[in-house]
Amino acid sequence: MTIDISSFLETVADEVKDKEVPVVDLIAVQTRDPFKVLVATILSARTKDETTAKASKKLFNLAPDRKALDRLEEDHIAKLIYPVGFYKNKAGYLAKLSSALEEFGGDVPDTIEELITLPGVGRKTANLVVSVAFQKPAICVDTHVHRILNIWEYVQTDTPLKTEMALRKKLPKKHWITVNSILVAFGQSICRPISPHCDICSLAGKCPQNGVKPRKVPGKKRDKSQPLKFISWNVNGIRALEKKGFIDILSDLDADIVGIQETKAQPDQLSEELKNIPGYTSYWHSAKKKGYSGVAFYTRHTPLAVHEGLGEEEFDSEGRVLTLEFDTYYLINIYFPNSGDKLKRLDFKLRFNNTLLTFARTIGRKKDVILCGDFNVAHKEIDLKNPKNNVKHAGFTPEERAWMDSFIEAGFTDTFRIYNQEPDQYSWWSYRFNARAKNVGWRIDYFCVDESARKKVQNAAILQEVTGSDHCPVQLEYLAR
Ligand code: SF4
């Protein structure tokens, strides 16, 4: 299908005209200051607009220009811009920005080639600064632009850089400056990365919807012939993730049940918004120690019963296991212990693992069993980037991998590997060394099923595009009968 790009972009521009203007555009209009546009653009990478706006305001109060920024210590910048994504790295870039700008007489340069020599400035940032701050033709291709133009089959590319190059050849120049802000607003509101809202989109019927799985229409009764969608996600602190948009992300995920791990919160530390997300009932099992471990479920379906823990105080005091019981199956949400520094907790972990296995096998005599969570182990060499270097490290020791072997031998299936035998499929990346961008990661988050549940598995996936934690969610589609 060939689309009329001008007509599509005009329709979308009309559709998003009442939506919030992306923060970088807003700063450009309000300040007409390339320095502020540049700084806000650096802050905005992998960060919600609302958070970028607050961080920019705090920073510009103390550092409205290059010289003032130069007087701030890196630690102070980090405190001012927290909690933008990668705030420590960005503080480092901003601490060096002033001296880097001296190269250009203290001014922000207006070409992509010059801008990309500055710390923390990649091609996407440079294009945005050129188009927004200087109103010069440049095409900023972020993930929304890249994704949506591939959905429309206007380009067929696998990286934002290739999209930019393709657009330079075919996109009419009149759209270059505006395409980013239009598609970012559209991608954040309607054509969302997960479960786009095609049911309310003005382009429905004309759009090729390449590779799209539209959301289920809210309020529509579940079709029982369709599989349930389960998600598991180590959120690494639910209160921190709430500030990065967890409630919107949960709505986008459009799952029947979401199990989260490492909530790091007691129920009395949770906001009412987090406990009562519309359409879901939540259940929490927290550790006794504050700010540590913890698991929870959000479910659209009322369980017959909810079971906390494994019945052993040494494990249950750490809030690691929560089970929902339904008519035909149990869904167990688990945050497995980490073997720890110098493997100090390896024995504890192996005891936990064996207790968990006994628990799953016992309840499995009555109904199907699905286990999800952060298993804190990469099972095989294919499941991490650098297996050779990690043989003695927590999460890849022979003991932990042997337990995983015994778990599989006991009849459980790692559902992801039914569908995907490829390397480089990870669910966790260190926050250090830009590991996620380089895809230097580990696959340690799983959906596993017992033999009887195995027949009902319809699909399994890793949702690497979902950010906000050092883990990404994993997904199972399951036909409950
Ligand atoms: S119809 Fe769906 S996929 Fe196409 S542009 Fe609209 S929301 Fe996106």
- Assign residue 87 the CATH number of its domain: 1.10.340.30
Backbone φ, ψ for residue 35 (5° rounding): -60, -45
Catalytic residue among 25, 374, 445, 450: 374
The reported pLDDT for the residue numbered 222 is 67
Determine, yes or no, domain membership for 30.
yes
Determine, yes or no, domain membership for 195.
no
Same domain, yes or no: 323 and 445: yes
The reported pLDDT for the residue numbered 50 is 83
Query: How far is it, in rounded angstroms, from Cα 40 to Cα 19?
Result: 20
Alpha helices in 137-224 (DSSP H): 143-151, 160-170, 179-189
The reported pLDDT for the residue numbered 221 is 65
Q: Which amino acid is at 446?
A: Y
Residue 98's domain comprises 5-189
The reported pLDDT for the residue numbered 3 is 95
Q: Ligand 1 — pocket residues by CB below 6 A?
A: 151, 190-191, 196-198, 201, 203-204, 207, 209, 212, 214
Query: How far is it, in rounded angstroms, from Cα 286 to Cα 294?
Result: 4
Determine, yes or no, domain membership for 201.
no
Query: How far is it, in rounded angstroms, from Cα 13 to Cα 242?
Result: 29
Determine, yes or no, domain membership for 451.
yes
Reference 42, options 56, 28, 54; nearest CA is: 56
What are 445's strand-pairing partners? 374
The reported pLDDT for the residue numbered 219 is 59
Residues lower than pLDDT 70 in the chain: 218-222
The reported pLDDT for the residue numbered 18 is 79
Determine, yes or no, domain membership for 249.
yes
Same domain, yes or no: 260 and 363: yes
The reported pLDDT for the residue numbered 433 is 85
- 374 among known catalytic residues: yes
Total domain count for the chain? 2
Q: How far is the CA of 203 from the centre of ligand 1 (A)?
A: 6
Q: Report pTM.
A: 0.67
Determine, yes or no, domain membership for 458.
yes
257-261: strand order across its sheet: 281-285, 295-299, 257-261, 228-234, 474-478, 457-462
Determine, yes or no, domain membership for 259.
yes
Same domain, yes or no: 175 and 246: no
Strand, coil or helix: what is 476? strand
Reference 350, options 314, 388, 389; nearest CA is: 314
Same domain, yes or no: 152 and 276: no
What are 429's strand-pairing partners? 441
Alpha carbon 205 to its chain's center = 29
Determine, yes or no, domain membership for 140.
yes
Asked if 474 contacts 372 with a C-beta cutoff of 8 angstroms, the reply is: yes
Q: Which of 1, 10, 146, 201 to probe ligand 1 with, by most ligand atoms within 8 A of CB? A: 201
Same domain, yes or no: 182 and 250: no
Reference 81, options 108, 97, 60; nearest CA is: 60
The reported pLDDT for the residue numbered 220 is 61
Task: Give 308's contacts (C-beta < 8 A, 6+ positions apart).
Answer: 285, 316, 321, 322, 323
